Copies of this chain bind each other. A is one copy, B any other.
Amino acid sequence: MEEQVELVGRAFVDHYYLLFDTNRLSLASLYQPTSLLTFEGQKIQGGDDIALKFNQLPFDHCKHFITTIDCQPSSFTGGILVFVSGNLQLAGEEHQLKFSQMFHLIPTLEGSFFVQNDIFRLNYG
């Protein structure tokens, strides 16, 4: 059970940031209309608006480098909490930005998962 949580969480993280770094609009498929994003304090609901937000970020290309991934089962049946820290490299920028992000993954009827909660923060310092 605990191993499964780790496997799903880590596979999600790989998939999520690959999509983010190569095709941000496709991230809409990972969310549902109930999904909540808080991005640097800004609250957005629903997969379409969330993907739109990502697509409107003021940089064309980026690459996420993951430092840590922590996973726990949530109280919601089959739910998984994923906590990520890492660095974000923006095209044309010399220095990477540190970030932390958490996800709450909820199982779908089809046997997959969607992101119900997503909170992202840059770690300035």
B72 engages A38 (CB within 8 Å): yes
Interface residues of A in 6-60 (CB under 8 A from B): 36, 38, 41
B41 engages A73 (CB within 8 Å): no
Copies of this chain held together in the complex: 2
Whether A100 is near chain B, meaning CB under 8 Å from some CB there, is: yes
A79–B36 Cα distance when bound, in Å, is: 14
B41 engages A68 (CB within 8 Å): yes
Residues on the B chain within 8 Å of A104, using CB = 74-75, 81
A81–B106 Cα distance when bound, in Å, is: 14
Known A-B contacts A76-B75, A106-B75, A116-B74; the reply to A121 vs B68 at CB < 8 A is yes
> What is A's interface to B at a CB cutoff of 8 Å?
36, 38, 41, 68, 70, 72-76, 79, 81, 83, 85, 98, 100, 102, 104, 106, 116-117, 119, 121, 123, 125
